[in-house]
């Protein structure tokens, strides 16, 4: 089993990019956001233009990232995956630097991240911010910076966890989808089977009943640990 997980709104309670922009960017970022909401531009173009509007040095950025709150039950879920040797990868249409800083603060820096790439020029001074999209796919209808449907490699049992629009294109692929928010509405409308969840605590329970082998492993592991 392989677990792929969205970040913004799924692991983090707030959208980390929106949080940074609302604290540190020129207010013009909101006009660009509206163009994206209206469907006039894709998320890749939207984020590239918004990130360039950040007016802060790296230290000020790091301070703001300190205040992004994650689901308090996510660290236990990540631990559950480690315990069962289940690979867990974050697949996000957000910003790699933001996500990694938040993971470091929560002692979760071991989790691999696929996301848009931030470059900070002159970080100590009049810093400028540039976003590139190495995981974009121009053929995907999502027009996202990270095309999640191209980020999932073929595996035996893929579990996907998400909450929003950036998860739509990928949700047709995994063998098991956990959805909340707009992703749940989308899956329902597209006849994609999914399990509804609210927090990662629900997920740990669902995974144990959805995949009975894990339950057996959970019983075996403590005995191995004792041996
Ligand atoms: Mg999300
Ligand atoms: Zn895609």
Q: From ligand 2's centre to the CA of 143, what distance in Å?
A: 8
Q: From ligand 2's centre to the CA of 14, what distance in Å?
A: 23
What pLDDT, on the 0 to 100 scale, is given for residue 105?
96
- Domain with 70 in it: what CATH number? 3.40.50.1000
Q: From ligand 1's centre to the CA of 124, what distance in Å?
A: 31
Asked whether the CA dihedral 216, 222, 223, 227 is positive or negative, the reply is positive
* pLDDT tens digit at each of 227 positions of the chain: 899 999 999 999 989 999 999 999 999 999 999 999 999 998 899 999 999 999 999 999 999 999 999 999 999 999 999 998 899 999 999 999 999 999 999 999 999 999 999 999 999 988 999 999 999 888 887 778 898 988 888 888 899 999 999 999 999 999 999 999 999 999 999 999 999 999 999 998 888 877 766 655 544 444 444 43
What pLDDT, on the 0 to 100 scale, is given for residue 220?
46
Q: From ligand 1's centre to the CA of 15, what distance in Å?
A: 7
Q: From ligand 1's centre to the CA of 163, what distance in Å?
A: 5
Within 13 A of 17's CA, how many CA atoms are on the CB side?
27
Q: From ligand 2's centre to the CA of 142, what distance in Å?
A: 6
Work out the burial of residue 140: count CB atoms within 10 Å of its CB; fewer than 13 is exposed, 13-18 middle, 19 or more buried.
middle
Q: From ligand 1's centre to the CA of 113, what distance in Å?
A: 14
pLDDT tens readout for residues 137-192: 888 877 788 989 888 888 888 999 999 999 999 999 999 999 999 999 999 999 99
What pLDDT, on the 0 to 100 scale, is given for residue 196?
95
Q: From ligand 2's centre to the CA of 8, what distance in Å?
A: 17
Cα gap 150→165, rounded to integer Å:
16
Which-ligand-closest: CA of 140? Answer: 2
Q: Is the overall model pTM greater than 0.85, yes or no? A: yes
What pLDDT, on the 0 to 100 scale, is given for residue 167?
94
- Residue 196 has phi, psi (to 5 degrees) of -75, 145
Which-ligand-closest: CA of 91? Answer: 1
Which-ligand-closest: CA of 14? Answer: 1
Cα gap 9→141, rounded to integer Å:
22
Phi-psi region of 80 (alpha: psi -120 to 50; beta: other; left: phi over 0): alpha
Are the beta carbons of 68 and 16 closer than 8 angstroms?
yes
Q: From ligand 1's centre to the CA of 155, what distance in Å?
A: 23
Q: From ligand 2's centre to the CA of 139, what distance in Å?
A: 8
What pLDDT, on the 0 to 100 scale, is given for residue 59?
96
Residue showing tokens 């749940």: 184
Question: How many independent structural domains does the chain possess?
Answer: 1
Are the beta carbons of 114 and 145 closer than 8 angstroms?
no
- Range(s) of the domain holding residue 65: 2-226
Which-ligand-closest: CA of 10? Answer: 1
């Amino acid at each position: 089993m392989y677990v792929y997980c969205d970040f913004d709104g799924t692991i983090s309670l707030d959208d980390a990019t929106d949080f940074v922009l609302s604290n540190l960017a020129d207010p013009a970022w909101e006009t660009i956001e509206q163009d994206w909401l209206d469907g006039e531009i894709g998320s890749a173009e939207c984020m590239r233009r918004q990130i360039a509007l950040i007016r802060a040095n790296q230290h000020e950025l790091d301070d703001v990232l300190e205040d992004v709150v994650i689901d308090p039950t996510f660290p236990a879920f990540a631990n559950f995956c480690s315990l069962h040797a289940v690979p867990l990868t974050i697949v996000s249409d957000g910003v790699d630097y933001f996500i990694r800083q938040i993971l470091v603060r929560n002692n979760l820096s071991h989790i691999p991240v696929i996301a848009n790439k931030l470059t900070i020029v002159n970080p100590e001074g009049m810093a400028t911010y540039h976003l590139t999209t190495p995981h974009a796919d121009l053929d995907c209808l999502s027009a996202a910076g990270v095309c999640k449907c191209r980020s999932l490699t073929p595996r035996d049992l893929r579990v996907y966890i998400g909450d929003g629009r950036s998860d739509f294109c990928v949700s047709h692929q995994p063998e098991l989808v956990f959805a909340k928010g707009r992703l749940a509405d989308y899956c329902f409308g597209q006849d994609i089977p999914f399990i509804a969840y609210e927090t990662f605590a629900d997920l740990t329970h669902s995974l144990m009943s959805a995949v009975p082998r894990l339950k057996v492993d959970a019983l075996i592991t403590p005995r191995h640990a004792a041996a």
